[in-house]
Amino acid sequence: MNRTDQQPLGSPFSAATTADEVTAGLDLSGRNAVVTGGYSGLGLETTRALAAAGARVVVPARRPDAARAALADVPGDTEVVPMDLADPGTVRAAAAHLREALPRLDLLMAVAGVMATPERRVGPGWESQLATNHFGHFVLACELYPLLAAAPGGARVVVNSSAGHTLTGIRWHDPHFRTGYDKWAAYGQSKTANVLFAVHLDALGREDGVRAFPLHPGKIITGLQREMALQEQIDLGWVDAHGNVVGEGFKSASQGAATGLWAATSPLLADRGGVYLEDCEIAAVSAPGTPMDDGGVRAYAVDPEGAARLWELSVAATGAGPLGS
Protein backbone atom coordinates (compact mmCIF):
# COMPACT_ATOMS: atom_id res chain seq x y z
CA MET A 1 0.00 0.00 0.00
CA ASN A 2 1.18 3.50 -0.69
CA ARG A 3 -0.36 6.89 -0.91
CA THR A 4 -0.95 6.65 -4.64
CA ASP A 5 -3.48 3.90 -3.92
CA GLN A 6 -5.67 6.50 -2.20
CA GLN A 7 -7.40 7.52 -5.43
CA PRO A 8 -11.19 7.55 -5.98
CA LEU A 9 -12.54 4.71 -8.12
CA GLY A 10 -15.67 6.30 -9.49
CA SER A 11 -18.10 4.54 -7.17
CA PRO A 12 -21.79 4.80 -8.13
CA PHE A 13 -22.59 5.57 -4.50
CA SER A 14 -22.20 8.67 -2.34
CA ALA A 15 -22.47 10.10 1.17
CA ALA A 16 -26.26 9.87 0.87
CA THR A 17 -26.30 6.17 -0.01
CA THR A 18 -28.10 3.89 2.46
CA ALA A 19 -27.31 0.38 3.62
CA ASP A 20 -30.19 -1.08 1.62
CA GLU A 21 -29.03 0.65 -1.55
CA VAL A 22 -25.56 -0.87 -1.23
CA THR A 23 -26.88 -4.39 -0.70
CA ALA A 24 -29.83 -4.23 -3.13
CA GLY A 25 -29.82 -7.35 -5.31
CA LEU A 26 -26.94 -9.00 -3.45
CA ASP A 27 -27.19 -12.68 -2.57
CA LEU A 28 -24.94 -13.48 0.38
CA SER A 29 -26.41 -16.93 1.00
CA GLY A 30 -23.79 -19.27 2.39
CA ARG A 31 -21.59 -16.41 3.59
CA ASN A 32 -20.59 -16.08 7.25
CA ALA A 33 -20.11 -12.66 8.83
CA VAL A 34 -19.04 -11.44 12.26
CA VAL A 35 -20.15 -7.92 13.20
CA THR A 36 -18.83 -6.43 16.43
CA GLY A 37 -21.27 -3.94 17.90
CA GLY A 38 -23.85 -5.52 15.61
CA TYR A 39 -26.80 -4.84 17.87
CA SER A 40 -26.91 -1.04 18.02
CA GLY A 41 -26.32 1.98 15.82
CA LEU A 42 -24.29 1.33 12.69
CA GLY A 43 -23.63 -2.23 13.73
CA LEU A 44 -27.33 -3.05 13.91
CA GLU A 45 -27.90 -1.57 10.45
CA THR A 46 -24.96 -3.63 9.19
CA THR A 47 -26.33 -6.83 10.72
CA ARG A 48 -29.78 -6.14 9.36
CA ALA A 49 -28.52 -5.55 5.80
CA LEU A 50 -26.21 -8.59 5.74
CA ALA A 51 -28.86 -10.91 7.18
CA ALA A 52 -31.45 -9.61 4.73
CA ALA A 53 -29.06 -10.48 1.89
CA GLY A 54 -28.84 -14.05 3.17
CA ALA A 55 -25.64 -14.05 5.23
CA ARG A 56 -25.31 -15.80 8.57
CA VAL A 57 -24.34 -13.03 11.01
CA VAL A 58 -22.66 -13.63 14.36
CA VAL A 59 -22.73 -10.69 16.77
CA PRO A 60 -20.20 -10.73 19.62
CA ALA A 61 -21.66 -8.64 22.44
CA ARG A 62 -20.60 -7.29 25.81
CA ARG A 63 -24.30 -7.27 26.74
CA PRO A 64 -25.61 -10.48 25.16
CA ASP A 65 -29.14 -10.18 26.56
CA ALA A 66 -29.48 -6.66 25.15
CA ALA A 67 -28.07 -7.89 21.85
CA ARG A 68 -30.57 -10.73 21.61
CA ALA A 69 -33.42 -8.33 22.37
CA ALA A 70 -32.22 -5.88 19.71
CA LEU A 71 -31.91 -8.64 17.12
CA ALA A 72 -35.22 -10.31 17.93
CA ASP A 73 -37.02 -8.52 15.09
CA VAL A 74 -34.18 -8.82 12.56
CA PRO A 75 -35.18 -11.32 9.88
CA GLY A 76 -32.54 -13.84 8.91
CA ASP A 77 -29.88 -15.99 10.54
CA THR A 78 -28.25 -14.22 13.49
CA GLU A 79 -26.44 -15.44 16.59
CA VAL A 80 -25.11 -13.65 19.67
CA VAL A 81 -21.82 -14.64 21.30
CA PRO A 82 -20.66 -13.09 24.61
CA MET A 83 -17.50 -10.97 24.24
CA ASP A 84 -16.00 -7.82 25.73
CA LEU A 85 -13.47 -6.11 23.46
CA ALA A 86 -11.70 -4.66 26.50
CA ASP A 87 -11.08 -8.16 27.89
CA PRO A 88 -8.80 -10.25 25.63
CA GLY A 89 -9.76 -13.43 27.48
CA THR A 90 -13.37 -13.09 26.39
CA VAL A 91 -12.25 -12.24 22.85
CA ARG A 92 -10.22 -15.45 22.68
CA ALA A 93 -13.12 -17.45 24.11
CA ALA A 94 -15.53 -16.03 21.53
CA ALA A 95 -13.06 -16.74 18.74
CA ALA A 96 -12.55 -20.31 19.96
CA HIS A 97 -16.31 -20.84 19.85
CA LEU A 98 -16.47 -19.47 16.31
CA ARG A 99 -13.59 -21.64 15.13
CA GLU A 100 -15.60 -24.64 16.31
CA ALA A 101 -18.92 -23.42 14.90
CA LEU A 102 -17.92 -22.05 11.49
CA PRO A 103 -16.01 -23.71 8.65
CA ARG A 104 -14.90 -20.32 7.33
CA LEU A 105 -15.46 -16.59 7.77
CA ASP A 106 -16.15 -14.41 4.76
CA LEU A 107 -16.59 -11.05 6.48
CA LEU A 108 -15.27 -9.60 9.72
CA MET A 109 -16.85 -6.21 10.41
CA ALA A 110 -15.14 -4.31 13.25
CA VAL A 111 -17.87 -1.78 13.98
CA ALA A 112 -17.95 -1.56 17.78
CA GLY A 113 -16.15 1.23 19.56
CA VAL A 114 -16.09 3.82 22.31
CA MET A 115 -15.46 7.56 22.05
CA ALA A 116 -14.20 10.34 24.30
CA THR A 117 -14.52 8.32 27.49
CA PRO A 118 -13.26 9.34 30.92
CA GLU A 119 -9.84 7.98 31.79
CA ARG A 120 -10.03 4.25 32.46
CA ARG A 121 -7.48 1.50 32.76
CA VAL A 122 -8.20 -2.04 31.63
CA GLY A 123 -6.16 -5.23 31.61
CA PRO A 124 -2.54 -4.55 32.60
CA GLY A 125 -3.11 -0.80 32.75
CA TRP A 126 -4.00 -0.18 29.11
CA GLU A 127 -5.75 3.05 28.15
CA SER A 128 -9.32 1.90 27.58
CA GLN A 129 -10.06 3.50 24.20
CA LEU A 130 -6.94 2.00 22.62
CA ALA A 131 -7.71 -1.31 24.31
CA THR A 132 -11.35 -1.44 23.21
CA ASN A 133 -11.17 0.10 19.76
CA HIS A 134 -7.87 -1.43 18.66
CA PHE A 135 -6.43 -4.21 20.84
CA GLY A 136 -9.77 -6.03 21.09
CA HIS A 137 -10.27 -6.08 17.34
CA PHE A 138 -6.60 -6.92 16.78
CA VAL A 139 -6.86 -10.02 18.96
CA LEU A 140 -10.18 -11.01 17.38
CA ALA A 141 -8.79 -10.78 13.84
CA CYS A 142 -5.67 -12.74 14.74
CA GLU A 143 -7.69 -15.46 16.45
CA LEU A 144 -10.16 -15.71 13.56
CA TYR A 145 -7.53 -15.54 10.84
CA PRO A 146 -7.61 -19.29 10.06
CA LEU A 147 -11.34 -18.95 9.29
CA LEU A 148 -10.73 -15.87 7.13
CA ALA A 149 -8.00 -17.64 5.18
CA ALA A 150 -10.35 -20.59 4.64
CA ALA A 151 -12.96 -18.50 2.79
CA PRO A 152 -12.84 -19.91 -0.76
CA GLY A 153 -13.66 -16.65 -2.52
CA GLY A 154 -11.43 -14.55 -0.30
CA ALA A 155 -12.40 -12.74 2.88
CA ARG A 156 -12.71 -9.07 3.77
CA VAL A 157 -12.03 -7.38 7.09
CA VAL A 158 -13.71 -4.00 7.46
CA VAL A 159 -12.53 -1.73 10.27
CA ASN A 160 -14.49 1.33 11.32
CA SER A 161 -12.12 4.21 11.98
CA SER A 162 -13.16 7.88 11.96
CA ALA A 163 -12.21 11.32 10.78
CA GLY A 164 -11.12 11.56 14.40
CA HIS A 165 -7.87 9.91 13.31
CA THR A 166 -6.82 13.39 12.18
CA LEU A 167 -6.53 14.43 15.84
CA THR A 168 -3.25 12.56 16.37
CA GLY A 169 -1.01 9.79 15.17
CA ILE A 170 0.20 7.04 17.48
CA ARG A 171 1.84 8.43 20.61
CA TRP A 172 4.77 6.06 20.43
CA HIS A 173 6.37 7.64 23.49
CA ASP A 174 3.26 7.20 25.63
CA PRO A 175 0.40 5.28 23.96
CA HIS A 176 -1.36 4.68 27.28
CA PHE A 177 -1.31 8.30 28.46
CA ARG A 178 0.77 7.73 31.58
CA THR A 179 1.66 11.42 31.61
CA GLY A 180 -1.71 13.13 31.37
CA TYR A 181 -4.98 11.99 29.82
CA ASP A 182 -6.90 13.76 27.07
CA LYS A 183 -10.07 11.94 26.01
CA TRP A 184 -10.07 13.31 22.46
CA ALA A 185 -6.38 12.59 21.87
CA ALA A 186 -6.95 9.06 23.18
CA TYR A 187 -9.89 8.64 20.83
CA GLY A 188 -7.92 10.01 17.89
CA GLN A 189 -5.02 7.68 18.59
CA SER A 190 -7.33 4.68 18.71
CA LYS A 191 -8.87 5.64 15.36
CA THR A 192 -5.43 6.04 13.78
CA ALA A 193 -4.63 2.60 15.19
CA ASN A 194 -7.72 1.21 13.44
CA VAL A 195 -6.41 2.45 10.07
CA LEU A 196 -2.85 1.24 10.59
CA PHE A 197 -4.12 -2.14 11.77
CA ALA A 198 -6.14 -2.63 8.58
CA VAL A 199 -3.22 -1.48 6.41
CA HIS A 200 -0.86 -4.08 7.86
CA LEU A 201 -3.45 -6.85 8.10
CA ASP A 202 -4.05 -6.37 4.39
CA ALA A 203 -0.33 -6.57 3.66
CA LEU A 204 -0.01 -9.80 5.65
CA GLY A 205 -3.22 -11.40 4.45
CA ARG A 206 -3.41 -10.69 0.75
CA GLU A 207 -1.59 -13.89 -0.28
CA ASP A 208 -4.30 -15.82 1.58
CA GLY A 209 -7.05 -13.79 -0.08
CA VAL A 210 -7.71 -11.78 3.09
CA ARG A 211 -8.12 -8.08 2.32
CA ALA A 212 -8.73 -5.32 4.86
CA PHE A 213 -10.32 -1.90 4.57
CA PRO A 214 -10.36 0.91 7.15
CA LEU A 215 -13.05 3.56 6.80
CA HIS A 216 -14.76 6.66 8.10
CA PRO A 217 -18.51 5.96 8.30
CA GLY A 218 -19.40 9.65 8.50
CA LYS A 219 -20.83 11.84 11.24
CA ILE A 220 -23.67 10.04 12.96
CA ILE A 221 -25.27 10.47 16.37
CA THR A 222 -25.52 6.95 17.84
CA GLY A 223 -24.78 5.28 21.16
CA LEU A 224 -21.13 6.11 20.48
CA GLN A 225 -21.73 9.47 22.15
CA ARG A 226 -23.17 7.88 25.29
CA GLU A 227 -20.39 9.09 27.59
CA MET A 228 -20.53 12.68 26.38
CA ALA A 229 -22.68 15.14 28.31
CA LEU A 230 -25.59 16.67 26.41
CA GLN A 231 -24.15 20.14 26.97
CA GLU A 232 -20.86 19.10 25.37
CA GLN A 233 -22.70 17.89 22.28
CA ILE A 234 -24.68 21.16 22.21
CA ASP A 235 -21.46 23.17 22.49
CA LEU A 236 -20.00 21.22 19.57
CA GLY A 237 -23.03 22.17 17.48
CA TRP A 238 -24.16 18.57 17.06
CA VAL A 239 -27.54 18.62 18.80
CA ASP A 240 -30.08 21.00 20.33
CA ALA A 241 -31.22 21.10 23.94
CA HIS A 242 -33.58 18.22 23.27
CA GLY A 243 -30.89 16.03 21.78
CA ASN A 244 -32.11 16.45 18.20
CA VAL A 245 -29.40 16.50 15.54
CA VAL A 246 -28.87 20.01 14.19
CA GLY A 247 -25.28 19.92 12.92
CA GLU A 248 -24.53 19.95 9.21
CA GLY A 249 -23.32 16.88 7.39
CA PHE A 250 -24.75 14.27 9.73
CA LYS A 251 -25.85 10.92 8.32
CA SER A 252 -28.56 8.52 9.37
CA ALA A 253 -27.46 5.20 10.86
CA SER A 254 -28.30 3.50 7.57
CA GLN A 255 -26.19 5.98 5.60
CA GLY A 256 -23.41 5.53 8.16
CA ALA A 257 -23.43 1.77 7.65
CA ALA A 258 -23.30 2.06 3.86
CA THR A 259 -19.54 2.55 3.45
CA GLY A 260 -18.75 -0.53 5.54
CA LEU A 261 -21.20 -2.62 3.55
CA TRP A 262 -19.71 -1.28 0.32
CA ALA A 263 -16.25 -2.23 1.59
CA ALA A 264 -17.53 -5.71 2.41
CA THR A 265 -19.27 -6.42 -0.88
CA SER A 266 -18.26 -4.14 -3.75
CA PRO A 267 -16.71 -5.81 -6.80
CA LEU A 268 -14.93 -2.51 -7.44
CA LEU A 269 -12.67 -3.36 -4.49
CA ALA A 270 -11.71 -6.81 -5.73
CA ASP A 271 -7.93 -7.23 -5.72
CA ARG A 272 -7.59 -4.10 -3.60
CA GLY A 273 -7.11 -3.52 0.09
CA GLY A 274 -5.40 -1.46 2.73
CA VAL A 275 -7.07 1.70 1.43
CA TYR A 276 -9.05 4.13 3.60
CA LEU A 277 -12.64 4.64 2.50
CA GLU A 278 -15.33 7.26 3.11
CA ASP A 279 -18.72 7.98 1.51
CA CYS A 280 -18.60 4.65 -0.39
CA GLU A 281 -15.38 5.66 -2.14
CA ILE A 282 -11.61 5.54 -1.72
CA ALA A 283 -10.54 8.73 0.05
CA ALA A 284 -7.71 11.03 -0.95
CA VAL A 285 -4.76 11.78 1.32
CA SER A 286 -5.41 15.01 3.23
CA ALA A 287 -2.76 17.60 4.00
CA PRO A 288 -1.71 18.25 7.62
CA GLY A 289 -3.95 20.85 9.17
CA THR A 290 -6.87 20.18 6.83
CA PRO A 291 -10.13 20.47 8.81
CA MET A 292 -11.45 17.14 9.97
CA ASP A 293 -14.79 17.60 8.23
CA ASP A 294 -13.12 18.18 4.86
CA GLY A 295 -12.52 14.45 4.54
CA GLY A 296 -9.54 12.39 3.50
CA VAL A 297 -6.95 10.38 5.37
CA ARG A 298 -3.74 11.62 6.93
CA ALA A 299 -0.56 10.17 5.45
CA TYR A 300 0.61 8.91 8.86
CA ALA A 301 -2.47 6.69 9.13
CA VAL A 302 -1.73 4.77 5.92
CA ASP A 303 2.05 4.65 6.33
CA PRO A 304 3.23 1.04 5.91
CA GLU A 305 6.15 1.46 8.29
CA GLY A 306 3.91 2.90 10.99
CA ALA A 307 1.45 0.07 10.39
CA ALA A 308 4.16 -2.56 10.85
CA ARG A 309 5.40 -0.82 13.99
CA LEU A 310 1.92 -0.75 15.51
CA TRP A 311 1.46 -4.43 14.67
CA GLU A 312 4.63 -5.27 16.60
CA LEU A 313 3.48 -3.13 19.53
CA SER A 314 0.10 -4.87 19.50
CA VAL A 315 1.60 -8.36 19.40
CA ALA A 316 3.88 -7.47 22.31
CA ALA A 317 0.96 -6.08 24.32
CA THR A 318 -1.63 -8.78 23.68
CA GLY A 319 0.38 -11.87 22.84
CA ALA A 320 -1.75 -12.37 19.72
CA GLY A 321 -0.41 -13.79 16.49
CA PRO A 322 1.28 -14.88 14.41
CA LEU A 323 -1.50 -15.09 11.87
CA GLY A 324 -2.71 -18.54 11.07
CA SER A 325 -1.27 -20.07 14.23
Q: Which residues in the chain belong to E strands, given as ranges?
A: 32-36, 56-61, 77-82, 107-110, 121-122, 126-127, 155-160, 210-216, 277-278, 281-282, 285-286, 297-298
80: left (phi over 0), alpha (psi -120 to 50) or beta: beta
Query: Taking the alpha carbons of 94, 99, 101, 107 in that order, is the dihedral positive or negative?
Result: positive
Please tell me the distance from the alpha carbon of residue 133 to that of residue 197, in angstroms, as a whole number: 11
Reply yes or no on whether 187 is catalytic: yes
Which candidate in 39, 145, 181, 187 is catalytic? 187
Please tell me the total number of residues recorded for the chain in this structure.
Answer: 325
Does an H or E element contain 256, and which? helix 253-265
Please tell me the distance from the alpha carbon of residue 26 to that of residue 76, in angstroms, as a whole number: 14
User: What amino acid positions are annotated as catalytic residues?
Assistant: 187
